[in-house]
Amino acid sequence: MKERLRRLKEKVEGRKEEKGEERSERVEVERRLERKEKEERRRNIVIRGLEIRGGGRKEEAEKLLEKIRAKVKAIEVKRIGGDAEKGREMVLLKLENEEQKWEVEKKKLEVEKLRIEK
């Protein structure tokens, strides 16, 4: 009887250790995902007041980047916010890396009536 109790205790303790290991692995995966998402958000730029004419958002955003002489490539351009007022929109630009974001921030001062946020 004592032997059986000892084996059951060992079995239960072994399961507790396994659960702890699984939890630590899950926590580590969650941390990695959060770090990756944060890194992706760092590369984003919000442009307020982008005029959308005949072309699409991406074309207009690339024209704007050419206008300020920033040599960057937009991966994705999305409209954010509500209704566009008077043909102007607020858009989110996803860039390839943070260096491109810094370049845009340095050159944004040359453009009037445009607000680029971090």
End-to-end CA distance of the chain: 69
At 34 the pLDDT is 95
At 114 the pLDDT is 60
CA–CA separation, 58 and 16 (whole Å): 53
Contact 80, 87 (CB under 8 A): no
Find the helix or strand (DSSP H, E) in which 117 lies: strand 115-117
pLDDT, greater one: 55 or 18: 55
Tell me the pLDDT tens digit for each residue of 35-50.
999 998 999 999 888 8
Q: If we measure between CA atoms, which residue out of 45, 23, 53, 52 comes closest to residue 92? A: 45
At the topology level of CATH, where does 44-117 sit?
Alpha-Beta Plaits (3.30.70)
Please state the domain extents for the chain.
1-42, 44-117
At 118 the pLDDT is 61
Contact 57, 77 (CB under 8 A): yes
Tell me the pLDDT tens digit for each residue of 61-116.
888 888 888 888 888 988 887 666 667 788 899 998 888 888 888 887 766 656 66
Helix (H, G, I), strand (E, B) or coil at 92: strand
